Amino acid sequence: MSINPSWILRSYPSAMPSAENWSLEDRPIPMAANGELVVKTLWLSVDPYMRGRINPAKNYAAGFRIGDVMCGGGIGEVVTSESANFKAGDLVTSDHFGWQPFSAIPATSAKLLQTNDAPIQSALSYLGMPGLTAYFALLKTAIPKVGETVLISAASGAVGQIAGQIARIKGFDPVAVVGSDEKLEWCKELGYRTGVNHRSSTDLAADVANACPKGIDVFIDNTAGPIHDAAMLALNTFGRVVVVGTISLANRFDQPDIGVRHLRRTLITRARIEGFLLDDHEQEYETATADLLSWHKQGLLQTREDVTEGIESVPHAFVRMLKGENFGKQLVKL
């Protein structure tokens, strides 16, 4: 019987990762060093940003090393604490949860889970990183005006589903780009005015332009790739593009992304294209979380989760999220 089956990174994928890039190996339950907590994992989050770290190249954060236990966002219960700020039994979130049942995490990375009427795993979705990303990318970086058209790619995903609903709450005009008709229907239930299924579209630029008859004022780009190109062609003067994610590049990480470059279009529209990282907004997390929780309590935020179960399923959950096969926030329940 395994004591602490842990997913170890064994190779860097050159394109789309597969379960073979990791091996499940037993590890002892870790001891908490000074300033650390040992936590029992309840939920793990798999997120697009992790693809960027399974790479030897420089990124905004250090990459995972071969032989390391993979780690990411999670929720767990403190088993032992070597920090004055936490005690056994506390429920915490952290971005340092290993892909394993028991992890040692730095206490400084942990946050006590706030009591609210939302299910605890919402701290990994709409009350956590994806929700905050949607909030800041839309309201602090793009800053749409009331009535402006906001195109959102990966619109039913963890970030997109929240971004679309915030856009509706704030009186913007949200338009979805998704990967299936089923996702599109759900986006309309969330409050997206309309949308485009990029997988069934035979002329993405035309379909995006038709869905945005007044042009695109703001584009929340969660994917890069062909959807970005289609959006650029319909961008209005002084349009704002926020580059939140590049998941369409997940299967070509070691190759440059080759395609149409829209610098001329950027000049003509005086567009602003801006890269986004959530960490830059840390000082405002509290305000944003309060807003998100308030919308949740008013029944204004619907969310959808896509849950796999068991530590064995983590790489599978990660890869299906990268491929866009998930429908809603991809989580793993242990």
Show the binding pattern over residues 60-99: x = contacts its own copies (CB under 8 A), - = does not: x---------------------------------------
Q: How far is the CB of 164 from its own copies (least distance, A)?
A: 20
Q: How far is the CB of 208 from its own copies (least distance, A)?
A: 16
Q: How many CB atoms lie within 10 A of CB 316?
A: 16
| Residue 148 three-state SS | coil
- For residue 144, the number of C-alpha atoms closer than 13 Å in the C-beta half-sphere is 31
Q: How far is the CB of 53 from its own copies (least distance, A)?
A: 11
Q: How far is the CB of 136 from its own copies (least distance, A)?
A: 12
328 sits in the region (left: phi over 0; alpha: psi -120 to 50; else beta) called left
All residues at 6 or more sequence positions from 151 whose CB lies less than 8 Å from its CB, including other chains = 175, 177, 208, 211, 212, 216, 218, 219, 220, 231, 234
Nearer to its own copies, 147 or 238 (CB): 238
d(CA 203, CA 193): 20
Q: How many CB atoms lie within 10 A of CB 297?
A: 12
Look up residue 279 and give its amino acid: D
Q: Which member of 65, 145, 214, 261 binds its own copies (CB under 8 A)?
A: 261
Q: How far is the CB of 150 from its own copies (least distance, A)?
A: 18
Show the binding pattern over residues 273-292: x = contacts its own copies (CB under 8 A), - = does not: xxxxx--x------------
Tell whether residue 10 is a contact of its own copies (CB under 8 A).
Answer: no
Tell whether residue 164 is a contact of its own copies (CB under 8 A).
Answer: no
Helix axes 129-136, 285-297, angle to 10 degrees: 100
Q: Which member of 213, 267, 283, 298 binds its own copies (CB under 8 A)?
A: 267
d(CA 46, CA 311): 12
Nearer to its own copies, 276 or 327 (CB): 276
> Which residues from 191-230 bind its own copies, rule CB under 8 A?
221, 224, 228
Q: How far is the CB of 317 from its own copies (least distance, A)?
A: 23
Tell me which residues touch its own copies (CB under 8 A).
52, 59-60, 221, 224, 228, 243-246, 249, 256-277, 280
